[in-house]
Chains A and B, each alone.
With several copies, the nearest count.
Chain A
Amino acid sequence: QTLEKSSVGVLALSSSGPIFIAKAKGYFAKEGLDVELKMFTSAQQVPVAVASGDVDFGVTGLTAGFYNLAAKGAVTIVAAQSRDEPGFPLSAYVATNAAYEAGLTKPSDLKGKRIAITTVGSTFHYMIGILGQKYGFTVKDVTMVPLQDVPKMVSAFKGGQVDAILAPSTVSRQVVADGAGKIVGWAGDETPWQLGALFTGPKTIQQRRPVVEKFIRAYKTALAEYHAAFNAKDSSGALVKGPGYDELVAIIAEATKQKPEIVTAGLPYADPQAKLLIDDVVNQVKFWQSEGQVDKTLEPKSVMDLSFVGQ
């Protein structure tokens, strides 16, 4: 029996772990799919690749660009990826030493500061937005400095040209270890939200619905395994190693070309049923619309097709 060909665009990050697991442990093959992994270097590119038909599926963080593609009917969310969740250190607010001494000691102090982000419309931009929603300020109250990529954010941070950055855990810890700044909070603790999703093109859903169903079944199997291994907590609320922990870390380390200890330090939370934080997705769309970066006519719920995960 020949396997049906399919492809998925991913970033080489731990958050794509379930895809790596499903591929490595043969869950796709079990469903009769031959899934090719295509690695991309930035979150912008994955939905574009889906939209242009280069790949069938994509898993990555949700950005304003993504919703614009969704608005034009190029992509649809079909399942959840990772999310920011209390107790899971994924993205940190990091203050420079100078800013810290000047009183930037907790996330709410970010109001009125210069913050480096990658690009306008990125996940970091939204995280500032929801932080503001929580503490009563808007994006206009901070100065966002778009620097295209994380390394440049770090150099601007180290050079003292911004007061703070929002950065992934590994980067944040490295910055702190270098003595260049202090972590003042974690986005997961402050503002839990739906960081990423699995998506495909509406055409694929229409024309190859069985493939989508098979893909998501395999994905959910891997996701459940991932959740059990990495997201388990003991009664005190501390994280513990779940079943198959080392095997799965090895798979992810191999796929992301990272050292296992780096991988273990930044494993995000993922819902075992691949269920989405629907309210947050709606909030995201509304936020981008209020920022003027997504078409106002977009109906927030229309970006999702939840039939596959049964929500």
Chain B
Amino acid sequence: MSEILRSDALPSASPSLSGPQPVRFRGGGFTVRRHPWAALAAFAVLIGLWEGASRIGLASPLFLPPPSAVGAALSVMVTDGSLWLNLKASLGRIAVGWTLGTLGGMLVGFAMGIGSLARAVGVPLVSAFFPIPKIALLPLFILWFGIGEPSKFATIGFGVFFPTVIATYSAIDSVPRNLIRMAQSFGLPWRSILRSIVLPGALPGILAGFRISSSIALILVVAAEMIGAEYGIGAFVLMAGNLMQTDTLLAGVLVLSLMGLTIGTLLSLLERRLLKWR
């Protein structure tokens, strides 16, 4: 008996508690505490160690240029205007390609979300095309659209199209059926239901899809710029790689990371604006 009780909440050796025993706390753990400065500290330590390792010659500046060198390379990019030039080129490609792919994807996704036949036809086609890495189609796009901008738009657009289709029709599926039934029970016409219920109800899912498709666009702009691009962050990074300028390369990678973070932040802002009701 005492054996059994030992592992218990109440520290007692007898099956009866003689005097009042305080209830022992057994919650705790598995809760998230905040460490507001930990992230900053971690970044500082990481960068410090990295710089230090380079300074004392532990890491060759060729293989791992110190943060100061990366910073210097970045400031060169800023002052000689190449940052802006490359950024502009990449952002322009993302904007056009992403917009085309998203519009097309939403159109097809809506058709598939609402029409049973469109869905029956679309789902297998999409599942067949979706898993194809779009970089594998680059050679084909070059054949079809040439080495200029159109092939880059096409690469990004196609990459964005399929996830958008999937996000859109799943979003429509996830519009609560009970809201549609409610509208029907009040005699709302089909078009009103579509406009007032299906569309706003699908918005969260569609916006979540934007998050995925924008990161795909970022990957694909880099891939597409590896071929025949004079300017662009992807072309820039590739060139730095070819020239073995690792500091410049890392500066380019840093710019990509910032681009990704910025796009993500913008989408969050958009979500917060449009989905205040959640």
Residues of chain A having any CB pair with chain B under 8 Å: 40-42, 44-45, 47-49, 51-52, 54, 63-66, 68-69, 72, 74, 119-122, 143-149, 151-152, 155-156, 159, 161, 293-294
Contacts and interface: CB of A to CB of B under 8 A. Distances in A.
Contact of B143 (A41, A52, A66, A120): A52
A52 B60 CA distance: 11
A87 B9 CA distance: 94
Given A72-B62, A147-B228, A152 B146 contact: no
Interface in B86-108: none
Given A48-B147, A155-B142, A155-B143, A69 B242 contact: no
B228 A156 contact: yes
B146 A159 contact: yes
Contacts of A51: 62, 143, 244
A143 B242 contact: no
Interface in B210-261: 226-230, 235, 238-239, 241-245
Given A45-B228, A146-B235, A161 B146 contact: yes
A45 B60 CA distance: 18
B146 A119 contact: no
A45 B242 contact: no
A48 B142 contact: yes
A151 B148 CA distance: 16
22 contacts: A40-B147, A45-B142, A47-B244, A48-B142, A48-B143, A49-B147, A65-B242, A69-B244, A72-B61, A119-B238, A121-B239, A122-B242, A145-B228, A146-B230, A146-B239, A148-B226, A152-B227, A156-B228, A161-B147, A293-B243, A293-B245, A294-B243
Contacts of B241: 151
Contacts of A42: 228
Interface of B: 60-63, 142-144, 146-148, 226-230, 235, 238-239, 241-245
Contacts of A69: 62, 244
A66 to B, nearest CB: 8
Nearest to B62: A72
A49 B144 CA distance: 10
Contacts of A41: 228
Nearest to B225: A146
Contacts of A64: 242-243
Best-surrounded residue of B142, B226, B241 (most CB of chain A within 10 A): B142
Given A54-B146, A69-B244, A119 B228 contact: no
B228 A146 contact: yes
Contacts of B238: 119
Given A40-B147, A48-B147, A147-B147, A155 B244 contact: yes
Please indicate which of the listed interface residues A49, A68, A149, A159 has the most CB atoms of chain B within 10 Å of its own CB: A68
Given A72-B244, A151-B242, A152-B227, 11 more contacts: A48-B142, A54-B146, A64-B243, A65-B244, A66-B244, A68-B243, A145-B147, A146-B235, A152-B228, A156-B147, A161-B147
Contacts of B245: 68, 293
Contacts of A294: 243
Nearest to B236: A120
A169 B220 CA distance: 34
Contacts of B142: 45, 48, 152, 155
Contacts of A146: 228-230, 235, 239
A45 B239 contact: no
A287 to B, nearest CB: 13
B77 to A, nearest CB: 11
Contacts of A143: 230
Contacts of A47: 244
Contacts of A44: 242
B242 A121 contact: yes
A162 to B, nearest CB: 8
